[in-house]
Structure 1
Amino acid sequence: MRQNPARRTALLDAAIEVLARDGSRGLTLRAIDAEAEVPTGTASNYFRNRDDLLGQVMRRTRERLAPDPTVVAETMRAPRSEQLVTELMRQLVARMRADRSSNLAMLELRLEATRRSRLGEELGGFLAAEHTELIDFHLDAGLPGDRIGVALLYFAMSGLLIDDLTVPEISAQHDTDDLIATLVHRVLTDPR
């Protein structure tokens, strides 16, 4: 197993592009080599098997999609309000749109995880922990809403992002900023 971290990252980034463009069936070691513009056989030196490859791709997409801590810290200087939650959701959409390939690759990985138990366990565990961390961050930061409201916001934003990535004609029918503001308002101010 090769240990060149820069080469491994380049191969994983190439795998994300292949997965986003060609889907799971198109994700081969040869396709990764071609995308990364390295000699044929290079990727086989970095990934033990397909499960190893998919697990590493999953972890790399999460790295690429993580918010910049400096931007989060700056944003969180604002008063805790519905407007701040709206801004955080707008930043989420902007971040997802900026790295469309990682998001499409994650959708492919989610589908592949339904067929590969090892990936399913790893991805399911990671996403469940991330879901809890997002809710805890929201509540610990003193943002408006309760645990159920934040979970609803998460699920609604996930749906919006999936449509925005896969069928943009649907989201193009609406102003995304207005949708987000209305969503945040309705979810976080429900008296029940």
Structure 2
Amino acid sequence: MRSNPARRAALLDAAIEVLAREGTRGLTLRAIDAQAGVPTGTATNYFANRADLLAQVMHRTRERLTPDPAALAETMRQAPTHDLVTELMRQLLERMRGDRTGYLAMLELRLEATRRPELHADLSGFLTAEHEEIVRYHLDAGLPGDATGVALLYFAMAGLLLDDLTVPAILEPYSTTGLIGQIVTRLLPAQG
């Protein structure tokens, strides 16, 4: 396996583009090479097999969709209130909109995991750990709500993101900012 990190990242980004555009059936090493603009056969030097490719794509999508640590630290300087949680959720929506292909690729991985037991195991572990990290971060930051409320917020935002990035017409009668504010205040009771 080759270890050129920049080339590997470029190939993974190409794989994400192909996956988002064509789904898992269109995700071939040849399609990745073409998308990356590299000679045919290049991707075979970086991925041991399809399972390895899908696992690496899964981790690369997280890298791409995770907030910038400096920007997050700046946002977190605010008081731990509903307004801050609403701002964090608004930034989440904007981040997903900003990397729509990364988000859609993750959705494709979720669908593929229903057909591939090895990917299902990897993705389940990956997403469970990520969910637990989100809940822990929220609680450790002293933000409003308890673990159940944060879980409900996570699942409500997952639905909003899914609709916003796949069938946005369903959200046209609403203000997404307004919906996010209502989700936060209704699911995360004020601390008492």
Q: TM-score, normalised by structure 2?
A: 0.97
Corresponding position: 1:15 with 2:46: no
Residue 158 (1) aligns with residue 158 (2) = yes
**In structure 1, what is the equivalent of residue 77 of structure 2?**
77
For residue 66 of structure 1, report the CA deviation from its aligned partner.
Answer: 0.7
Question: 2:145 maps to which residue?
Answer: 145
Runs of 4+ in 1 over 6 A off after TM superposition: none
- Report 1:25-174 matches (<5 A): 25-174=25-174
Cα deviation 1:127-163 (Å, max 9, x = unaligned) = 0011011011111100000111110000000000001
The alpha-carbon deviation at position 190 of structure 1 amounts to 8.0
Residue 3 of structure 1 deviates from its aligned partner by 1.4
Q: Distance in 2 between matches of 1:38 and 1:80?
A: 47
Quote the Cα distance in structure 2 between the aligned partners of 1:64 and 1:171.
Answer: 25
Q: List alignment gaps of at least 5 residues for structure 1.
A: none
Counterpart of 1:95 in structure 2: which amino acid?
R
> What is the one-letter code of the residue matched to 1:57?
V
Give, in whole Å, the separation in 2 of the partners of 1:23 and 1:101.
Answer: 11
User: Residue by residue, what CA displacement relative to the aligned partner does 1:46-91 show, whole Å, maximum 9, x if unpaired?
Assistant: 1111101000100100100111111111111111111010000000
Output the aligned Cα RMSD: 1.1
Q: Percent identity?
A: 69
CA shift at 1:8, angstroms? Answer: 0.7
